[in-house]
Structure 1
Amino acid sequence: MQEVKATMAGSVWKITVKQGEQVEEDQDIVILESMKMEIPIGAEEAGTVKELKVAEGDFVNEGDVIAIIE
């Protein structure tokens, strides 16, 4: 099991995967917006998206869990 975490504080601008979707290593899971920059957050390893912990528009802090991948 892998927890995908926010690397910095920001708003969830776009979610690029759906629950149950297969993802590859380094594939973008969400794109955060912080200080008018878009920061992609990707999977560290391949797997299936078990759960998305955020919705578009949510604010996250650095270290918050964004998704669970198995």
Structure 2
Amino acid sequence: PAGSHVQAAAMPGTITNIHVNVGDRVEVNQPVMVLEAMKMENEVVAEVAGTVASIAVAKGDMVNPGQELFSIAQ
């Protein structure tokens, strides 16, 4: 959505867990989802505080670097 902060995948991997839903309030550094890469689980945390506006992936999805994961309305 316009005016939202979009977070993208930093590395290729698989989404193994999503901790939030659209409409949930998140704070800076709050874990939002888990990205498994090279057999290591990496927590993806919110870069900004706000409300989750969209989630572009689902559990089990494979993602590439730069691919949108979710957006946060500030």
TM-score scaled by structure 1?
0.96
- Identity of aligned pairs, percent? 41
Residue deviations 1:21-49, cap 9 Å, x none?
00000111110011110011111110000
Quote the RMSD (CA, aligned, Å): 0.6
Partner of residue 68, structure 1: 71
Query: Contact 1:7–1:41 at 8 Å: present in 2 too?
Result: no
Query: Contact 1:9–1:62 at 8 Å: present in 2 too?
Result: yes
Partner of residue 10, structure 2: 7
| Residues in 1 aligned to 2:45 and 2:5: alpha-carbon distance in whole angstroms | 11
2:28 is aligned with 1:25 = yes
| Residues in 2 aligned to 1:66 and 1:4: alpha-carbon distance in whole angstroms | 6
Gaps spanning 5+ residues in structure 2: where? none
Gaps spanning 5+ residues in structure 1: where? none
| Residues in 2 aligned to 1:42 and 1:5: alpha-carbon distance in whole angstroms | 11
Q: Which has the larger radius of gyration?
A: 2
Moved runs in structure 1, 4+ residues, more than 6 A?
none
TM-score scaled by structure 2?
0.91
Partner of residue 19, structure 2: 16
